[in-house]
């Protein structure tokens, strides 16, 4: 717990430093920009915030590039989980749906739905029942709701562990650079 709070404080300090540097570089927005933003109208002239900051004036924060890459990896991984979650939410509402209809509702291909369905079938969450004239229906299993809760908890634990590990690594790297 103490280690976690140290890591949280360190991450907070890093964020504050990044924000401070951003404000220092850009400065507060001029009044006309604030007014036009509220009114939804762009200023007629190019303002200081619209201009790109030259590369030589940008301060490089140690490890910033690696941090951005790690964040993108996490976002991509969460996105994949989110897609399956969308199918699960749809299944929770309808209990039974055809692959074709699920693909239409979620705006993905039937192959994608089949892939997600097979992964969820392996986890014991749903059954795939072939239809007589082709296609398949997806149905939640009897113990699916119980399993959904368990899986949700396991995923939360895994995400927390992953995030803690990332923070620890970042903390080690930061301590090594200062």
Residues 54, 70: one domain?
A: no
Contacts of residue 90, Cβ cutoff 8 Å, sequence gap at least 6:
97, 102, 105, 106
Contacts of residue 61, Cβ cutoff 8 Å, sequence gap at least 6:
17, 18, 21
pLDDT at 38: 45
Residues 56, 127: one domain?
A: no
Structural domain range at position 178: 62-178
What gap in Å lies between CA 171 and CA 175, rounded to an integer?
A: 6
Residues 66, 108: one domain?
A: yes
Q: What is the DSSP letter of 96?
A: E
Residues 137, 178: one domain?
A: yes
Q: Given 9, 38, 61, which residue is the final one in a domain?
A: 61
pLDDT per residue as tens digits for the range 107-129: 888 999 889 888 888 887 788 88
pLDDT per residue as tens digits for the range 59-84: 556 666 776 666 555 555 545 556 77
Structural domain total, the chain: 2
Residues 9, 47: one domain?
A: yes
Residues 20, 54: one domain?
A: yes
pLDDT per residue as tens digits for the range 10-25: 777 777 777 776 666 6
pLDDT at 92 over 80: no
Residues 68, 100: one domain?
A: yes
For residue 165, give the CATH number of its domain.
1.10.10.10
pLDDT per residue as tens digits for the range 126-162: 888 888 888 888 888 877 767 667 877 888 999 999 9
Residues 45, 71: one domain?
A: no
Q: Given 9, 30, 61, which residue is the final one in a domain?
A: 61
Residues 101, 45: one domain?
A: no
The strand pair at 136-140 and 96-98 is best described as antiparallel
Q: Given 44, 61, 78, which residue is the final one in a domain?
A: 61
Do the Cβ atoms of 49 and 33 come closer than 8 Å? yes
> Closest by alpha carbon to 14, among 68, 54, 73, 53?
68
pLDDT at 37: 47
Residues 91, 178: one domain?
A: yes
pLDDT per residue as tens digits for the range 93-109: 777 888 988 888 888 88
What mean pLDDT value characterizes the chain? 72
Residues 90, 153: one domain?
A: yes
Share of the chain above pLDDT 70, in %: 58
pLDDT at 69: 67
pLDDT at 164 over 90: yes
Query: What global pTM score does this model have?
Result: 0.39
Do the Cβ atoms of 120 and 84 come closer than 8 Å? yes
Residues 149, 77: one domain?
A: yes
pLDDT at 139: 84
């Amino acid at each position: 717990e103490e280690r976690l709070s140290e890591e949280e404080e360190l991450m907070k300090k890093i964020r504050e430093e990044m924000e401070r540097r951003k404000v220092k570089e850009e400065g507060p927005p001029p009044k006309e920009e604030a007014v036009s933003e509220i009114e939804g109208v762009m200023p007629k002239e190019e303002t200081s915030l619209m201009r790109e900051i030259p590369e030589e004036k940008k301060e490089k924060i140690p490890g910033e590039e690696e941090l951005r890459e790690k964040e993108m990896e996490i976002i991509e991984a969460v996105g994949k989980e989110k897609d399956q979650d969308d199918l699960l939410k749809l299944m929770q509402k309808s209990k039974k749906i055809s692959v074709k209809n699920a693909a239409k509702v979620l705006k993905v291909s039937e192959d994608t739905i089949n892939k997600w369905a097979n992964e969820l079938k392996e986890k014991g969450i749903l059954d795939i029942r072939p239809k007589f004239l082709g296609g398949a229906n997806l149905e939640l299993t009897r113990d699916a709701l119980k399993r959904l809760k368990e899986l949700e908890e396991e995923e939360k634990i895994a995400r927390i562990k992953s995030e803690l590990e990332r923070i620890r690594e970042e903390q080690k790297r930061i301590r090594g650079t200062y």
